[in-house]
A and B are shown apart, each in its own frame.
Chain A
């Protein structure tokens, strides 16, 4: 129940295309869903996050879509650029009595081809 399942494991997108990464969860106590971007040799950096009281959130070229009934959420990166090539992790957390821990997905390695 504590798992977050992420797909695909790897993704190749042409420059200017849309990158789509999906995540699913089981624990209905989760109420915070961030996406992190990680470059090789670096720590994860927050890209965008959403709470379940909204179905969509957009920041720059990144959009999170959230489907509470299906317990799924996805990241869309519009106009993908070679600089977006990195590993992306979805995560989930419960707001209290959980010690603030993030449960991460397995990661998606995104490669944007010029």
Chain B
């Protein structure tokens, strides 16, 4: 079975632009979470979605938004990009809505903002 897939793998944008990152969860998983990993640090929680509803939001500005589609895939959007948004964006899927069960991570999308 395919694991969590993310696209694109790499992306270069300039300050002020907008970006959309995509994630497909493991088949049968209804929960998708997004994390930001800055180089040299642990991942930071951005959003969690379950059954197309936002179930959790981390300490990120409103420039960050996400949604989940009926097939449980998800998009993360970031508007008005800043240099500090450069990071690896990770998507994780799990079978249950709330924590306590394994979250499986995708390979990430590496975003560079110039």
> Which residues from chain A sit less than 8 Å from chain B, CB to CB?
6, 31-32, 34, 36, 41-46, 49, 51, 89, 91, 93-107
Contacts and interface: CB of A to CB of B under 8 A. Distances in A.
Interface in B24-61: 31, 33, 35, 40-45, 48, 50, 55-58
Contacts, number: 85
A39 to B, nearest CB: 10
B99 interface: yes
B78 interface: no
Contact of A43 (B4, B33, B102): B4
Q: Which 9 A-B pairs have the closest CB atoms?
A: A99-B56, A104-B42, A93-B99, A43-B105, A101-B45, A95-B100, A100-B99, A99-B48, A32-B100
Interface of B: 4, 31, 33, 35, 40-45, 48, 50, 55-58, 90, 92, 94, 96-108
Contact of B48 (A6, A32, A100, A103): A100
B39 to A, nearest CB: 11
Nearest to B103: A102
A45 B99 contact: no
Nearest to A94: B99
Contacts of A99: 45, 48, 55-57, 98-99
B26 to A, nearest CB: 13
B108 A89 contact: no
A96 B98 CA distance: 5
Contacts of B103: 34, 46, 100, 102
A45 B105 contact: yes
A43 B56 contact: no
